[in-house]
Copies of this chain bind each other. A is one copy, B any other.
């Protein structure tokens, strides 16, 4: 159930609705610069005159373009500061096949310092040749599961998630199903990247998540999921969609804690966890409706998935309702909006 952000440049395009994600990217920028300056060992790459970078789950920009530019600049600086010739850079923009790569290509800066390429396909499987990447980056993408865990949609399962569209406030069985799907997806992701990233190569992952010990229900992203579910049930109560339709829908996202990520990385064994940080909340504030901004961003990211399941007719109503309920809620004050920053180093296997 790979889902794709909205393409183009319109009102609900991802291009024009990704400022929350940019907040996390800005906070991560300094950490990435530090990691490259202090920890990246470019001696590992001396046999290659090309430094290859990828953004896994890049969507359509502008965030991906800023992030890739920053990594290229920081690596270039590192080579120069150590008296090495600057390598050539090749940047691979990856996302699902249905991503709007055409729009992404038209927004590439003409004066970029790298050769650009796009790679279509799910990052839960192999995308690149063996040992061909030096730096893999993924921001706001790995919270998307490869699929909704089957049990939560299965009436005969004890993990059936009736009346809800997510695991927050659901039964333990539902939460466990989601956590297991996440662990399994991450294992696929790490195994694929372990083949593709050279020894000594870096991987940076930024995901919306939650601090250790925080109940799922107090993470802002999960609060939004709850409100979204209640909007759908309201529409069902009006008879516009059936309750059955809501029962057969669950969000394919999971928001992990540092402990969970650490356990998954250790169990996989191919990467060394160099650093993990909780990034500060980055909720835009100002003289505007934060509910509207967040509703539009969720629409840009997930509209396609809702259209496919519920039909196009309910989309405007759904996101209008979400906007209003978000503004009436206290989630921007009481919810925890943590993002996790994870820096991994591809270890040579012993």
Contacts and interface: CB of A to CB of B under 8 A. Distances in A.
B101 A97 contact: no
A116 to B, nearest CB: 7
A118 B115 CA distance: 11
Interface stretch (A17-25, A121-129, A219-227): A121-129
A106 interface: yes
Interface string A60-93: 0000000000000000000000000000111010
Contacts of A98: 102, 106
Q: What 10 pairs between A and B have smallest CB-CB spacing?
A: A50-B129, A105-B120, A88-B129, A117-B117, A118-B118, A117-B119, A97-B105, A101-B101, A102-B102, A90-B129
11 contacts: A49-B131, A50-B129, A88-B130, A90-B129, A90-B132, A97-B105, A105-B120, A115-B127, A115-B128, A115-B129, A116-B121
Contacts of A119: 115-118
A100 interface: yes
Nearest to A101: B101
Contact of A102 (B49, B100, B117): B100
Nearest to A90: B129
A98 B106 CA distance: 7
A314 interface: no
Nearest to A132: B50
A65 to B, nearest CB: 13
Interface residues of A, number: 28
A108 interface: yes
Interface of A: 49-50, 88-90, 92, 97-98, 100-102, 105-106, 108, 115-121, 126-132
A121 B49 CA distance: 22
Contact of A117 (B50, B106, B118, B131): B118
A49 B92 contact: no
Nearest to A87: B129
A89 B128 CA distance: 9
Contacts of A100: 102
Given A49-B129, A129-B50, A117 B105 contact: no
Nearest to A48: B129
A126 B118 contact: no
Contacts of A121: 116
Contacts of A117: 92, 117-119
A121 B128 CA distance: 21
Contacts of A105: 97, 101, 120
Contacts of A50: 129-130, 132
Contacts of A90: 128-129, 132
